[in-house]
Amino acid sequence: MKNKRTKSKDKLTLKQRRFCDYYLECFGNATQAVIKAGYNISKKNGTPDRNLAKSIASENLTKPDIVKYLQKGLEATGFNDKAIMKQHLFLINQFSNLSIKAKAIDMYYKKAGAYVPEKPISEAERRKFEISDDQLKRILSD
């Protein structure tokens, strides 16, 4: 009998590989992919425990080997950076609606890495900009 824990060259168990394949088939519905892949998540009455499935799905999507396998699968179907950039360019050039264009341009620049990543503000930094009610009243009364 085959050991279910045996890993292939891409370091995924059979169940993890099935999860990935169903994830791609279900258009990113990870909970449904866990259920279809055959993880042991049944309640006593035989129905799938969706909360447990969601938890397993969330954990699976943090595993580097699974993410790598999914990225390869998405690229194989044409869902890659180049295709996404083409779609953004299409939106920018095709629509006369300025709000759609602005959103597409924003997404395009984010994807291209043109924006500096936001730096989280520390608690001490945030406090520098806080004003009390008394200070606000004084400012407004001036």
Q: pLDDT value at position 7? A: 46
User: Which of the residues in the chain have pLDDT under 70?
Assistant: 1-10, 117, 129, 136, 142
How far apart are the C-alpha atoms of 50 and 70, rounded to whole Å? Answer: 22
- Both tokens of 137, joined, read 């009243």
What are the φ and ψ backbone dihedral angles of 42, each rounded to 5 degrees?
-75, 140
pLDDT digits (tens, 9 = 90+) for 83-97: 777 877 777 787 777
- Contact at 8 Å (CB) between 33 and 22? yes
Please report the domains of the chain, with CATH numbers, ordered by start residue. 14-76 (1.10.10.1400), 80-142 (no CATH)
48 beta partners: 42
Amino acid symbol at 66: I
